[in-house]
Structure 1
Amino acid sequence: MSDKNLEPTVEEKLRSLYNLQLIDSRLDQIRNTRGELPLEVQDLDDEIAGMGARVEKIEKEIDDLNKNIKEKKEAIKTSEALMEKYTKQQDNVRNNREFEALSKEVEYQELEIKLSEKRIKEAKAKIEHKKESLAELNEKIESYTSHLEHKKQELEDIVKDTEKEEQKLTELAEKYGEEIEPKLLKAYKKIRNSVKNGLAVVPVERGASAGSFFTIPPQRQMEIAMRKKIILDEHSGRILVDSELADEQREIMKKNLKA
């Protein structure tokens, strides 16, 4: 670039834009090698956390059922003690009415015992069912955790292989981004975000913009090669540069990345 106090020429702007495009394209490639791995890792983490919460819920339900069983067993002991008491009292009654009243109390306690035994049986059945669910969940958690560790290692290996290059590219992207006027940089990012492949700046190849089948008129190609103004492809809206400039910047970028 020329003196920082001078306004950069259109050619310098185009070179900076294409440099940034080369860097961003390489960063895209690096991130694409990770594919869906980051999302897979996050999804597995969320799944395991969700299953862990369900395990805690089931364990609490089992604990509550065991407490309920304990309470029912205590209630049975109380009823048995009352039955014994009322039965003894029947030996000392003074009339039939008192005897019948005590008999009803004994019958009531018998019913209470049967009801408690029924509730204990039901609670035990629920506990068994919940234990089966718990075993299945824990087995699933173990499987998911193993799969997660594998995916994390896979992602870590990919990141490790490209970490230094990605850091250098990010630093270069910031450097070239600072050399581009804010309005132009904003336009570049807008174009980049609007196209699937992220190519906002493309060279003219074989008479058409890279990746396009639409031919650019010879007069337009000459204007692009002159580098006197920023020209957009009327079909894709991308910024166009001549192939010679593109080749030069690719070579420079290769050297910069090796340095």
Structure 2
Amino acid sequence: MAKKAELSVEERLRALYDLQLIDSRVDEIRNIRGELPLEVRDLEDEVEGLNTRLEKLNNSLELIDNDIKAKKNLIEEAKTLIKKYAEQQKNVRNNREFNSLTKEIEFQELETQLAEKHIKEFKVQIEQKKEVISETKDRLKDRQTHLKHKKGELNAILAETEKEETALIKKSEEFQNQIETRLVEAYHRIRQNVKNGLAVVPIERGASGGSFFTIPPQVQVEIASRKKVITDEHSGRILVDAQLAEEEKAKMEKMFAKLA
């Protein structure tokens, strides 16, 4: 692996601030997308869940239909047996046989009544499930429409920004490769720990950018001299002077315009 060119402190500061401007632009693009990718993912999960629910409900209806068919078959069998036992009663030789057949008929009649009761219960279940299916279909249609709309929004934003974001990420990697690993690691660590991901900030009105803590005049002079990398004692951010920041902003804005 080729050794990184040795940069002066000022060159490092400029490269770090350029890297910050690039990464902040990427952050800005991602903020434009906002919560849309998460919303789309949540809606996709909800649509999938509703489809699964519908499938289970329809399978449940099919099972109930099979149960009703089974009960109807049982009723038909019971009627056949009742008819058979009634015919046999005409040819019995004694009361014991007659009573035995009567019990069989009564049993089959009870089986028929129980099966009819079950059929009624099953039909109530079918109506309840059909109501739930109808509500679920309405909900699914609504969520699918909402998903289509949100996907359209996201795709439109991606079409506008994806090319620029990809180019910026590549530029970010290029700038990181120019800077020594120790500084890049420190930069990423600070970015993770501070608000808005600003790890490198200029001095504004005697304070570090985004901070209310005043920087002592002597430290401001040191920062302006660009002889060493100085961090804000309160936020840990790397500090650059306002002039350097303005120069790099102007340079990077031209680059952003070309990438957009």
Query: Residues 5 and 68 of structure 1: is their aligned pair in 2 closer, same or farther, counting only changes over 3 Å?
Result: closer
Q: TM-score, normalised by structure 1?
A: 0.96
Asked if the contact 2:4–2:180 (Cα under 8 Å) also holds between the matched residues in 1, the reply is no
Structure 2: 5+ residue stretches without partners:
none
* Cα-Cα RMSD: 1.1
Matched residue, 1:156? 155
Deviation at 1:181, TM superposition (A): 1.3
Q: Is the counterpart of residue 41 in structure 1 residue 40 in structure 2?
A: yes
Matched residue, 1:10? 9
Question: Structure 2: which amino acid aligns with 1:147?
Answer: H
Query: Residues 217 and 80 of structure 1: is their aligned pair in 2 closer, same or farther, counting only changes over 3 Å?
Result: same
Structure 1 counterpart SS, 2:197 = coil
Deviation at 1:6, TM superposition (A): 4.6
Structure 1 counterpart SS, 2:212 = coil
Structure 1: 5+ residue stretches without partners:
none
Matched residue, 2:192? 193
Runs of 4+ in 1 over 4 A off after TM superposition: none
Matches of 2:235 and 2:195 in 1, distance apart? 11
Matched residue, 1:231? 230
Matches of 2:222 and 2:211 in 1, distance apart? 19
Deviation at 1:196, TM superposition (A): 2.1
Matched residue, 1:124? 123
The superposition leaves residues 98-128 of structure 1 with CA deviations (integer Å, 9 ceiling, x where unpaired) of 0000000000000000000000010011001
Question: Structure 1: which amino acid aligns with 2:152?
Answer: Q
Matched residue, 1:83? 82
Q: TM-score, normalised by structure 2?
A: 0.96
Matches of 1:64 and 1:77 in 2, distance apart? 20
Matches of 2:209 and 2:232 in 1, distance apart? 10
Deviation at 1:204, TM superposition (A): 0.7
Matches of 1:52 and 1:188 in 2, distance apart? 46
Matches of 1:127 and 1:50 in 2, distance apart? 21
Question: Structure 1: which amino acid aligns with 2:244?
Answer: L
Matched pairs, number: 256
Asked if the contact 1:203–1:240 (Cα under 8 Å) also holds between the matched residues in 2, the reply is yes
Percent identical: 56
